[in-house]
Amino acid sequence: MPVVREKTNWCGWGWESMRYDFRGHRDYFLRWIGERLGVDALGTRIPPVAPGSIELPAIRLGPSDLAELGAIAGGDGALFTDPRTRLLHAAGRSLPDLLRLRRGEVPTAPDAVVLPADEAAVIAVMRLCRQRDWAVVPFGGGSSVVGGVDASDPSGRPVVTLDTTRLDRMTAFRPEDQCATFQAGIYGPDLEASLAVRGWELGHVPQSFEFSTLGGWIAARSSGQQSNQYGDIADLLVSCRIVTPEGVIATWDGPVSAAGPDLNQTLAGSEGTFGVITEATVRIHPKPAMHQIQAVLFPSFAEGTAALAAIVAAGLRMSYMRLSDEVETETYLKMSGPKLVQDAGLSALRLLGYRDRRCVALVGTEGEPDTVEREVSEAIAIAKKHRGLSLGASPAKNWHRDRYLHPYMRDDLLDAGIATETHETAVPWSRVAAVREDVRQSIEAAAAAQGRRAHVFAHLSHSYPTGTCIYFVLMYAVDAADPVGQWRPIKAAICDAVVRHGGTISHHHGVGLDHKPWLIHEKGATGLRLIAGARRAVDPTGICNPGKLIDL
Amino acid sequence: MPVVREKTNWCGWGWESMRYDFRGHRDYFLRWIGERLGVDALGTRIPPVAPGSIELPAIRLGPSDLAELGAIAGGDGALFTDPRTRLLHAAGRSLPDLLRLRRGEVPTAPDAVVLPADEAAVIAVMRLCRQRDWAVVPFGGGSSVVGGVDASDPSGRPVVTLDTTRLDRMTAFRPEDQCATFQAGIYGPDLEASLAVRGWELGHVPQSFEFSTLGGWIAARSSGQQSNQYGDIADLLVSCRIVTPEGVIATWDGPVSAAGPDLNQTLAGSEGTFGVITEATVRIHPKPAMHQIQAVLFPSFAEGTAALAAIVAAGLRMSYMRLSDEVETETYLKMSGPKLVQDAGLSALRLLGYRDRRCVALVGTEGEPDTVEREVSEAIAIAKKHRGLSLGASPAKNWHRDRYLHPYMRDDLLDAGIATETHETAVPWSRVAAVREDVRQSIEAAAAAQGRRAHVFAHLSHSYPTGTCIYFVLMYAVDAADPVGQWRPIKAAICDAVVRHGGTISHHHGVGLDHKPWLIHEKGATGLRLIAGARRAVDPTGICNPGKLIDL
């Protein structure tokens, strides 16, 4: 098992040793959020069980099967059946995953975990699984928050989890064609490090950056924090190789083709249900000379939204563009402790009428200094037309520094009995206000039906000429008796509200198990049939990541 | 039949009344090209046969079938079986199409042409054709140059050509979401006119702009002359509706989704083999305030290529960016008559060493004046680093004025016994030189094997960070005895050379019948199987545009 996974938290986000410390303001924030939710968060402590106490499902593959699988997967060190490896590959990092894991509930786990070291071994594993009718669950960083890598098969076949993280090398660097080729199991930091030494970068930074892989990004159609400038991973994808039960597909390696449907865009988002992505060529660019992010305060979310739409419409290529709503703005201030309000000089704003409905936006970009300076100042000028007040670079620096840390907060809050769920969608600009309001009300109603309060906030995280991504965060006090049963109607309320307004069930998290019931609202019955037909052609027995995304 | 089609040339490009007159230099150019090809072009005159003399294949649908089809297609004026309508829907506008038509050879023609006035009628026609096992050939402008709309079915079923051009309305205008919705049969000029009155535009201008439809652009993954700036039609596509034999697919209407494979990008390029596109929502933008195009002369094609790559890499959004190779530069000068060389002040360039290998590039963009001025001058500055010599705006004006006229030249040259074929591909930047050289040599060798000479030139027409489109034009003297038999090995030589270098079989013309044998080089056997599986799910009996793109 690659070293990186050994040091990760078996029931939470990221490194085992890492905690989100709220920069020393944990008690302050817990008191505040507890008051909002009507619970004593500060006085609550519900730690996870000891992992050694967990009973995993029995392994259903016999010794000779395992020996054969191990041999074709690459021999020594290519197959694992020990409890810790199985546990670390049992689930992803969705809220229900964490709720179950913390209680020691592991309903499904891989019967074996294989770590092939090259594509030939992936092909051999796929062939054997096809012959034996074993499920194959591709597993990159395992950071799915939608049940995308659960080691489960609805039809009950044995599950082989295929961990791709040994496929971790750059295989071609072609600056003249502005692209580079990597094996698909490479983690974000390793990918960027191999480009950085050459002065180049990919610039794809999802929040999971440290714990997700190139193949996972493609399989789940990932977006990153700078996708506004560089495009999401589907835009950055030049070509890829995928091992399916019916053979390898190598998509065309070139800029643009009119020769039939775009295979890259069919494989991107296939979430392991078509096979295992083993390699990809992606567009890269020289490392930008500088970046600049400015914070802007808007008196209302509506004005901030209009400003972002106008900035995109003006063709300004902001790599960072994020607008927090009133509640998120307040929540982040509370997370930063009592002093930040004064530090940022925000108290004076009360006089200007920015007090209660204020929304902070971050706007910035990177590139050549001249271009960055010009485009950021043009963006700020547009923001001003929408009553945006420039706060300078300092608030943005805090966000940029902490941008990979926020997922850790979920685990700290779970210790205090507070669940944090996220859900994101995208809609045309004209539907932003309605969907935001409906989702918030739906969450509050679903919580109220359980006799609870919910704390809901949102931000716009990725903006396009035709619309934007809305990212919701909600916090509520966990029902210790049945946390997953409590979560389910809340999740359903969100998804129902999103599709009611024509929002996508996911802008960048994917579908997996959790969003699958709502996919039909987006694709339609005939659209789902088309995708299933494509899958059936390459995975006729449905062994690839069964149960996720789409059925045959 | 819509009026527009009645005035079109039955055996050639565009309007029946229009001729490319070489701006008065026809004789000058014919003498020059005749010398190059070793024939007396000026003394040759091979006009097309009279269309009334053509014998069309017998109609295979009986009176009651036709009556039923006409009724469900919309009653009066929705069904045509007259010879002229059948002739105008028999084929597209590829070179072999024209070679056959001019000789009065019409091996296949639709048994009936229907023109539904709404989507409900399209659905009804599709349902009847499914029941009766008749082929349905979707037909927009009919401008395909790859055999994409031929009224043929390899398995010999009757063919109903479904002309979409009565579906010609804008159905939604949503400036706040930077998009508009149109029925798919709307022609380019009508689409832009309906936006222009509102101050907006789509900005998609393929050379076929006047004679092609929105649905056709999507079905064939069209690119336009300004796609460098605005994206090709697949990029501009927000959502669409397609009527398949198994039901309607309405793709999701929003900016970006991670919920599974992208249906838009599967339907774009489906070339009618999945069904009939009836409506589409596309990204639009406010009409730009100005445009500016500059001509630049490079001493070599390699230096011009490097300059274009550098301009794209710098992130400059040129809407026009085109580099003619040496032979194309010379050919266009000859087409413009003996005076242009002096007019453009080119003669002085001999002193500067630009004489023999000179290549003209056009570089320009449109938008806000400040941005246009800045970006064009930055682009020219980059060109200068690659020894590009600015020629100012005047040569670019001629090209811009004539940009929809060049296809007419093909017919005028055919009258003089000279065939003009085009073929385009896209490759990574690093392969431009090799593929250009190989295609040229392959064409010359194929012509030589027939005892002929070929005149071959090329330009780069669309450029991307990762590569570029190379557009080849070739001219050769027609073998009047067997023009299609003569064309076939020449076409094959080009396609073989293109795929030998990993080029796409088409960057923007599509696949149709003509490119189909080479598609496997790009998609692979498993990739083709995946696409066929998707098609089979929605068109299980293969009635939609049979024989084109991909078989079941």
| Shared-domain flag, residues B252 and B346 | no
- Does residue B250 form part of some domain? yes
Nearest CA in chain A to B468: A255
Torsion of CA B295, B298, B304, B307, to 10 degrees: -70
In the listed set A286, A306, A321, which residue is the last one of a domain according to the structure? A286
- Mean pLDDT in residue range B414-442: 98
- Pick the residue of B126, B466, B505, B516 with the most A CBs within 10 A to test the interface with A by mutation: B466
- CB atoms B253 and A502 under 8 Å: yes
In a domain, A52, yes or no: yes
Taking the C-alpha atoms of residue A111 and residue A121, their distance in angstroms, rounded to an integer, is 18
The answer to whether the CB atoms of B254 and A283 lie below 8 A apart is: no
Phi, psi of B182 (to 5 degrees): -130, 150
CB atoms within 10 A of CB B433: 13
DSSP labels for B107-162? S---SEEE--SSHHHHHHHHHHHHHHT-EEEEESS---SSS-S-S--TT---EEEE
Residue A116 shares a structural domain with residue A213: no
Instruction: Specify if A226 maps to a domain.
Output: yes
Banded model confidence at residue B21, pLDDT cuts 50, 70, 90? confident
pLDDT by residue (tens digit) across B496-509?
999 999 999 999 99
Across B47-115, where does the E strand assignment appear?
79-80, 112-114
CB nearest A507 (choices: B256, B465, B509):
B256
A427 to chain B nearest CA, in Å? 5
Answer yes or no: do B254 and B327 share one domain: no
Of B248, B269, B508, nearest to A262 by CB-CB distance is B269
Contact B504 A274 (CB under 8 A): no
Same domain membership, residue B142 and residue B90: yes
Asked whether the predicted pLDDT for residue A270 surpasses 80, the reply is yes
Q: Å from A469 to nearest chain B CA?
A: 8
Q: Are residues A60 and A104 in the same domain?
A: yes
Contact B252 A504 (CB under 8 A): yes
Question: What is the arithmetic mean of pLDDT over B76-97?
Answer: 96
Which domain covers residue B309, as residue numbers? 290-401
> Residue A321: which of A298, A351, A343 has the closest Cα?
A298
- Could you tell me the pTM of the whole model? 0.96
Residue A341 has pLDDT above 70, yes or no: no
Question: How many angstroms separate the CA atoms of B293 and B225, rounded?
Answer: 12
Give the pair of three-digit tokens for residue B342: 């002096």
CATH at residue B319: 3.40.462.40
Whether B306 is covered by a domain: the verdict is: yes
- Give the DSSP per-residue string, A460-511: EEEEETTEEEEEEEEEEE--TT-HHHHHHHHHHHHHHHHHHTT--S-SSS--
Percent of the residues in chain B that have a pLDDT greater than 90, as a whole number: 88
ipTM of the complex: 0.96
For residue A296, name the pLDDT band (cuts at 50, 70, 90): very high
CB contact under 8 A, A261 and B266: yes
Within a domain: B507: no
Q: What is the CATH number of the domain that holds A76?
A: 3.30.43.10
Instruction: Verify that B146 and B207 share a domain, yes or no.
Output: no
Answer yes or no: do B220 and B305 share one domain.
Answer: no
- Does residue B185 sit in the same domain as residue B278? yes
Q: Are residues A200 and A303 in the same domain?
A: no
Write down the pLDDT at residue B338. 75
Q: What is the mean pLDDT of residues A187-194?
A: 98
Query: In terms of C-beta density within 10 A (0-12 exposed, 13-18 middle, 19 or more buried), how is residue B30 classed?
Result: buried
Interface residue of A423, A466, A538, A544 to substitute, partner B, most B CBs within 10 Å: A466
Average pLDDT across chain B, whole number: 94
Nearest C-alpha neighbor of A477 from the set A445, A450, A442, A440: A450
pLDDT category, A78, cuts 50, 70, 90? very high
| Min Cα–Cα distance to chain A from B412, Å | 29
- Average the pLDDT over each of A73-77, B3-7, B8-12 and give the range with the smallest value: B3-7
The pLDDT of residue B94 is above 90: yes
Point out the catalytic residue in the list A187, A320, A471, A476: A471
Average pLDDT over residues A62-78: 96
Number of domains chain B contains:
3
Q: What is the pLDDT of residue A22?
A: 81
Which of A351, A381, A401 finishes a domain?
Answer: A401
Question: Strands (DSSP E) along B275-326, which ranges?
Answer: 276-283, 285-286, 290-298, 320-324
Half-sphere exposure in the Cβ direction for A65 (13 Å, CA)? 17
CA distance B140 to chain A (A): 17
Contacts of A466 (CB under 8 A, 6+ apart): A428, A429, B177, B178, B179, B238, B254, B255, B283
The Cα A196–Cα A285 span in angstroms is 10
Instruction: Specify the amino acid at residue B460.
Output: L
Q: Is residue A360 part of a domain?
A: yes
The fraction of chain A above a pLDDT of 90, given in percent, is 88
Read off the pLDDT of residues A156-177 as tens digits, 9 standing for 90 and up: 999 999 999 999 999 999 999 9
Residues of B in contact with A218 (CB under 8 A): none
> Which of B257, B431, B461, B529 to mutate to probe the A interface, most A CBs <10 Å?
B257
Residue B249 scores a pLDDT above 90: yes
- Please enumerate in sequence order all residues whose Cβ is within 8 A of that of B330, keeping only pairs 6 or more positions apart, or say none: none
Q: Shortest CB distance from A511 goes to which of B260, B264, B367?
A: B260
A535 has a pLDDT exceeding 70: yes
Supply the pLDDT for residue A199: 98
Across the interface, whether the CB atoms of A254 and B427 are under 8 A apart is answered yes
Digit-coded pLDDT (tens) for B340-352: 555 555 555 554 5
Mean pLDDT, range B254-281, rounded to an integer: 98
Say yes or no to pLDDT of B89 above 90.
Answer: yes
pLDDT of residue A24: 85
Report the alpha-carbon distance of residue A317 to residue A321 in Å, rounded: 10
Give the model's confidence band at B3: pLDDT under 50 very low, under 70 low, under 90 confident, else very high: very low
* Selected residue with higher pLDDT from B333 and A5: B333
Of A329-338, A457-466, B446-455, least confident by mean pLDDT is: A329-338
**Over pLDDT 70: what percentage of chain A?**
96
What is the residue-averaged pLDDT of chain A?
94
Could you tell me if A104 and A153 lie in one domain?
Answer: yes
Residue B2 pLDDT > 70: no
The CATH number for A225's domain is 3.30.465.10
Cβ of B261 within 8 Å of Cβ of A248? The answer is: no
Sheet order of strands, A112-114 included: A79-80, A112-114, A159-163, A135-139
- Judge whether residue A344 has pLDDT over 60: no
Predicted local distance difference test score (pLDDT) of residue A3: 47
Q: Does residue B197 sit in the same domain as residue B148?
A: no
Catalytic residue numbers of B read: 471
Domain-terminating residue out of B253, B286, B319: B286
B129 in a domain, yes or no? Answer: yes
SS3 of residue A74 by DSSP: coil
Q: Are A85 and A139 in contact (CB under 8 A)?
A: no
- State whether residue B57 is helix, strand or coil: coil
- Regarding whether A201 and A101 lie in a shared domain, the answer is no
Residue A463: its pLDDT value, please? 95
User: Tokens 């800045």 — which residue?
Assistant: B374
pLDDT given for residue A355 in this prediction = 58
Residue A229 lies in a domain: yes
**Shortest Cα distance from A531 to chain B (angstroms)?**
6
**Cβ-nearest to B254 among A271, A285, A427:** A427
